Structure 1
Amino acid sequence: MQRPLAGLTRQNLVRELVAGITLIAIAIPLNIGYAQIAGLPATAGLYALIVPTVVYALVVSSRQLVASPDAAAAALVASSIGGLAAAGSQTYAVMAMAQAVISGVLFLVMSVLKLGFLANFLSKPILVGFVGGLALDILLSQIAKMLGIKIDSGGEFVDKLTGIITGLPDIQVWSLVISALSVAVLLLGKRFAPVVPWALIVMIVATIATVAGGLESKGVSVLGEVPAGPPVFSWPVLSWANWFALIPSAMALTMVTVAEGLLVSRSYGEKHRYPTSPNRDLFAFGLANIASGASSSFAVGSSTSRTAAMDSAGSRTQLPSLVLAVGTLLLLLFGTSLLADIPSPAIGAIVGVAVLPLLGIREFLDLWKLDRFEFGIGAACFLVTLFVGSIPGILVAFVLALVNIAQRASRPAIDVLEEDDNPTDSLLADAPTGAITAPGVIVVRMAAPLFFANGTVFTTAVKSAITGAGGPDKVQHLVVDMEAVTDVDVTAAEAYADLREWLAAEGITLSYSRVREGARPRLERFGILRTAGDAADGVYPSNREAVAALTTHR
């Protein structure tokens, strides 16, 4: 088992400590903003950087992945709990804690049952659409904050947009100035000096300007008093009905984190050539989320942006996360007074710029160029998430994933091998090619397992190939290349039985080649192979006429 803080040596200790200070500068302002997005006090975002971060860093197999609440998780918390309790209330905070606990348990179950493969159901178009919808909803809330316009941050997207439009005459000028300058510094700084912690600089300078200019009295909203002290440990106490009501949103949080977190973990492991364990990473996320729920915080996911920042800083261990935990604890113990005067427009600018890449504009353009169908999947997921809600969005994401799988599986490559051993273009059920392998013989290759989605497609394509080649007058033998047929189900077996009856009625013999040994017992049980026995020459079953004709021709 990999030891905690794997990769840490005396040679890289200083570099890792410096990276940890950089992580503090990045994470603290972002987590304050994410807590506000979630409808929780700033302390909820800061508490997530202490105990959950330590637990995760000591257990995870990835040496670089940073665990923390992120924009998508915060938006999911707000949208899912907002309809169950009033944002800012004690019940709301307790439900956010319970949601994190449920998510943690789900992570642990997935780890024990080795269910990380379920993340593969969230393809890139689905993730781009889902996260993009959440990001645009977040961005709208931050724009309102930057303009000094009061809107219901827990409302629907259309309500937020309407609130901003109707509130334009009431724009707070100083809020607009602070946010405009903050956005300019963040964007230009990221372009020309990306290693500098611009978010921290913006937060400090904006706070000094707000205090020096007395801007709070001129209408600029500030963060307000942040309670001092370490995380408050307590177990969420709710009715069973409320616990059950939180399960769907906890599942959504879990699946999004699994899909993104495992992908990022694996990619950095491969990039820097160290081993990662998906199931151990799931276990780490589970413990971190339970710790988060028990320490007055909310759901913890994977932070792609912070992980990338640590990679750029040269970090190759989890030590920066431990430095972050210590630094945040010291801030909560001795420095909360420094946070009270942070202007909300600056926080809005920091979060707004951070979520811009999550809109997926470039990814959508790439999808449009590469595959319109996958673009449509991403767009549908984006629109449902934006206009209906995050939970319907994740449900639609899974339905679209299944539709995508079924659509691709229902049109497998079905080839007729021609005389030069090259296959024709894949057959369509309604487009016979007229190709023939040898006089009187057609060899058809099915490049996928046979199951309910493609069984009828395969049999129809074979009939069309035979008919297109001249029917029984020109084709007396059909050979099915079974190399890629690794499985079969009942529905496909019934369709195959219909094909066999049709071939018998037409007087066409049926033979098989290259049957996989591992698949043979199941193919026999389902009646795909009509006789049992071994075939030394790889042809199965024992009607050799087709192969003899093919061999003679060659």
Structure 2
Amino acid sequence: MQKPLVGLNRGNIVRELTAGVTLLAIAIPLNIGYAQIAGLPPTAGLYALVLPAVVYALTVSSRQLVASPDAAAAALVASSIGGLAVAGSADYLTLAFAQAILCGVMFLALAWFKLGFLANFLSKPILVGFVGGLALDILISQIAKMLGVKIDSGGEFVDKVVDLVTGLGTVNGWSVLISVVALAVLILGKRFARAVPWALVVLIVATVAVVLADLDRAGVSVLGRVEAGPPTLTWPVIDWTMWLALIPSAMALTLVTTAEGLLVSRSYGEKRHYATSPNRDLFAFGLGNVAAGATGGFSVGSSTSRTAAMDQAGSRTQLPSLVMAAGTLLLLIFGTALLADIPSPAIGAIVAFAVVPLLGIREFRALWKVDRFEFAIGAVCFLVTLFIGSIPGILVAFVLALINLAQRASHPAIDVLASDDNSTDSLLDQAPTGTVTAPGVIVVRLAAPLFFANGSVFADAVKTAVSSAPTGTVRHLVVDMEAVTDVDVTGAEAFDALSEWLGAQHVELAFSRLRPDARARLVKLGILRQEQVFETNRAAIAALADPVR
């Protein structure tokens, strides 16, 4: 196991510390906003930046991935726990802690049993659709904050839209002004001075303006009193039935975080030339989530935007996460009074600005251009997540993943090479790599495992190839098995039926370049005899081409 903070040295420690201050400035306003999205007090978002961040930074294999609650996780928490308890209540808070602990246990199980591959079922279109649906739901709530319109942020998407439209008559002008200025600063700042923590600048300036102009009396909503003090160890005490009720949402959070987190971790490792360990990363996520649930935070995952910000700042270690944790702890102990007058429209603008890229507009446009079927998968996942819910969304995502997998597997690449030419040597020279043929011989190559989804497709392709040749000219059919890594029972039955059909056509079936595991499988299934194994060399081709044989 590698040492914590690998990559840190005297030459980069100042840069890493500076990046940590930048990360702190980015994380505090975002986590306050994400806690509000989740229906939790601001401290829940801040506590998640302390012990969970430290535990994760000291155990993860990635040198750059930042762990923190994000917008998608916050929306999942709100949508899943909202039906079990009233947002903001003590029971709601306890359920959020329990959910984080369940996520941690699931991450640890994935790491122990090396099951991170399950997240591969969440393909890019599915992730784009799922996260995009959550993002649009979040965006409606933030637009309401920016306009000063009160809506039920824990309701369904359609209800939120209706509340927003019907409440347009209550729009607060000062809230709109704060939001417009905040968005302008964030957009222009990102374009012309990325290194500046503009979110923190917006919060500070907006808070000063609210205090000096006494705008809270003019109807501008403010954050309010934030509880002071460091996080304390706790444990959620709930009925076992509630633990069971939280399992589906914890699974959804775990799978989405696994898919996104491992992808981001691997991509930055490859980009910056260092090794990562998926199972160790899952282990770190597990410890981080257990720490979050045990210290008053909520589920943590990978933060793509903050990881990208640290990469742009030149950070190549986990030291910035430790600086962020220390800074947040100091804020919780000494500076929570500074947070009370932060205007909600400014928070809404910051979160909305961070969420808009998650809508996946660019990704959907690219999918539409390159693959309409994958676009449809992403769109269906987007709509189900948006209008039915996050848990149905993740279930539909898995069903769509299986459909996509079956659809692709049922149309494997099947190469057919045949000839009635009398020159065997010319065929040997001209045949594609891995296949040779001769007069009276058809060579078929299946570039996939043979199983239930493609067995009949393969058999039909072979029958078509034989039937298309002039009657009586095909005497041998050779199946090139180099790319066939496995055969299941249904595929074997298709092979057996094909063998009988070939026998009726007086065509001899043989196999070439069998993999050892596939050979053993075919023998076990009873469809391969030793004399059917055909080695592809000139002598064998000549023998098969001899009409006397």
What's the counterpart of residue 453 of structure 2?
Answer: 453
What's the counterpart of residue 405 of structure 1?
Answer: 405
CA distance in 1, matches of 2:517, 2:156: 54
Q: Secondary structure at the match of 1:416?
A: strand
2:301 is the alignment partner of 1:306: no
* Native 8 Å contact 2:368 2:375 kept in 1: yes
Instruction: Tell me which amino acid in the other structure corresponds to 2:511.
Output: Y
1:106-505 equivalences in 2 (<5 Å): 106-418=106-418, 421=430, 438-470=438-470, 472-505=471-504
Instruction: Tell me which amino acid in the other structure corresponds to 2:121.
Output: F
CA distance in 1, matches of 2:129, 2:337: 40
* Native 8 Å contact 1:477 1:545 kept in 2: no
Using the TM superposition, give the Cα deviation of residue 469 of structure 1 relative to its aligned residue in structure 2, in angstroms.
2.2
What's the counterpart of residue 510 of structure 1?
Answer: 509
Please tell me the root mean square deviation across aligned C-alpha atoms, in Å.
1.7
What's the counterpart of residue 82 of structure 1?
Answer: 82
CA distance in 2, matches of 1:422, 1:248: 54
Using the TM superposition, give the Cα deviation of residue 311 of structure 1 relative to its aligned residue in structure 2, in angstroms.
0.4
* Native 8 Å contact 1:524 1:532 kept in 2: no
**CA 485–214 in structure 1, closer or farther in 2 if over 3 Å, else same:** same
* Native 8 Å contact 1:107 1:283 kept in 2: yes
Which stretch of structure 1 is more off in the superposition, 409-418 or 333-342? 409-418
CA distance in 2, matches of 1:456, 1:390: 37
Instruction: Tell me which amino acid in the other structure corresponds to 2:86.
Output: A
2:2 is the alignment partner of 1:28: no
2:522 is the alignment partner of 1:523: yes
Using the TM superposition, give the Cα deviation of residue 344 of structure 1 relative to its aligned residue in structure 2, in angstroms.
0.1
Using the TM superposition, give the Cα deviation of residue 549 of structure 1 relative to its aligned residue in structure 2, in angstroms.
4.1
CA distance in 2, matches of 1:404, 1:312: 36
What's the counterpart of residue 422 of structure 2?
Answer: none
Q: Kindly report structure 1 stretches of 4+ aligned residues shifted beyond 6 Å.
A: 532-535
Q: Report % sequence identity.
A: 71
Instruction: Tell me which amino acid in the other structure corresponds to 2:188.
Output: L
Which stretch of structure 1 is more off in the superposition, 511-520 or 262-271? 511-520
Using the TM superposition, give the Cα deviation of residue 545 of structure 1 relative to its aligned residue in structure 2, in angstroms.
8.1
**CA 532–109 in structure 1, closer or farther in 2 if over 3 Å, else same:** farther
CA distance in 2, matches of 1:517, 1:136: 52
Q: Secondary structure at the match of 2:400?
A: helix
* Native 8 Å contact 1:488 1:526 kept in 2: no
Instruction: Tell me which amino acid in the other structure corresponds to 2:208.
Output: I
Using the TM superposition, give the Cα deviation of residue 466 of structure 1 relative to its aligned residue in structure 2, in angstroms.
1.2
* Native 8 Å contact 1:481 1:514 kept in 2: yes
**CA 131–547 in structure 1, closer or farther in 2 if over 3 Å, else same:** farther
Per-residue deviation, residues 449-503 of structure 1 (Å, max 9, x unmatched) = 1111111111111111111223x42322111111111110111111111101111
What's the counterpart of residue 430 of structure 1?
Answer: none
CA distance in 1, matches of 2:226, 2:540: 86
Instruction: Tell me which amino acid in the other structure corresponds to 2:263.
Output: L
Instruction: Tell me which amino acid in the other structure corresponds to 1:477.
Output: H
> Normalising to structure 2: TM-score of the pair?
0.95
* Native 8 Å contact 1:148 1:176 kept in 2: yes
**CA 513–340 in structure 1, closer or farther in 2 if over 3 Å, else same:** same
Instruction: Tell me which amino acid in the other structure corresponds to 2:512.
Output: S
CA distance in 2, matches of 1:186, 1:371: 34
Using the TM superposition, give the Cα deviation of residue 551 of structure 1 relative to its aligned residue in structure 2, in angstroms.
8.3
Instruction: Tell me which amino acid in the other structure corresponds to 2:82.
Output: G
Using the TM superposition, give the Cα deviation of residue 506 of structure 1 relative to its aligned residue in structure 2, in angstroms.
1.2
Instruction: Tell me which amino acid in the other structure corresponds to 2:530.
Output: T
CA distance in 2, matches of 1:422, 1:114: 42
* Native 8 Å contact 1:416 1:437 kept in 2: no
Per-residue deviation, residues 234-270 of structure 1 (Å, max 9, x unmatched) = 1011101100000000000000000000111111111
Which stretch of structure 1 is more off in the superposition, 131-140 or 510-519? 510-519
**CA 10–510 in structure 1, closer or farther in 2 if over 3 Å, else same:** same
Per-residue deviation, residues 499-549 of structure 1 (Å, max 9, x unmatched) = 0111111111111111112321112111332336976x458xxxx987624
Which stretch of structure 1 is more off in the superposition, 512-521 or 500-509? 512-521
2:547 is the alignment partner of 1:548: no
* Native 8 Å contact 1:189 1:196 kept in 2: yes
**CA 532–474 in structure 1, closer or farther in 2 if over 3 Å, else same:** closer
What's the counterpart of residue 432 of structure 1?
Answer: none
Per-residue deviation, residues 26-82 of structure 1 (Å, max 9, x unmatched) = 000000000000000000000000000000000001000000000000000000000
**CA 170–106 in structure 1, closer or farther in 2 if over 3 Å, else same:** same
**CA 533–476 in structure 1, closer or farther in 2 if over 3 Å, else same:** closer
Instruction: Tell me which amino acid in the other structure corresponds to 2:505.
Output: E
What's the counterpart of residue 4 of structure 2?
Answer: 4
CA distance in 1, matches of 2:465, 2:87: 64
Per-residue deviation, residues 97-118 of structure 1 (Å, max 9, x unmatched) = 0000000000000000011111
What's the counterpart of residue 433 of structure 1?
Answer: none
Instruction: Tell me which amino acid in the other structure corresponds to 2:479.
Output: V
CA distance in 2, matches of 1:547, 1:268: 54
Which stretch of structure 1 is more off in the superposition, 24-33 or 440-449? 440-449
* Native 8 Å contact 2:111 2:282 kept in 1: yes
**CA 423–385 in structure 1, closer or farther in 2 if over 3 Å, else same:** farther
Instruction: Tell me which amino acid in the other structure corresponds to 1:315.
Output: S
CA distance in 2, matches of 1:275, 1:152: 46
Using the TM superposition, give the Cα deviation of residue 423 of structure 1 relative to its aligned residue in structure 2, in angstroms.
6.5
Per-residue deviation, residues 319-347 of structure 1 (Å, max 9, x unmatched) = 00000000000001000010000000000
* Native 8 Å contact 1:15 1:315 kept in 2: yes
What's the counterpart of residue 429 of structure 1?
Answer: none
Instruction: Tell me which amino acid in the other structure corresponds to 1:548.
Output: A
Q: Which runs of 5+ in 2 are unaligned?
A: 420-426
Q: Secondary structure at the match of 1:502?
A: helix
Instruction: Tell me which amino acid in the other structure corresponds to 1:531.
Output: Q
What's the counterpart of residue 427 of structure 1?
Answer: none
Instruction: Tell me which amino acid in the other structure corresponds to 2:404.
Output: N
Instruction: Tell me which amino acid in the other structure corresponds to 1:269.
Output: G
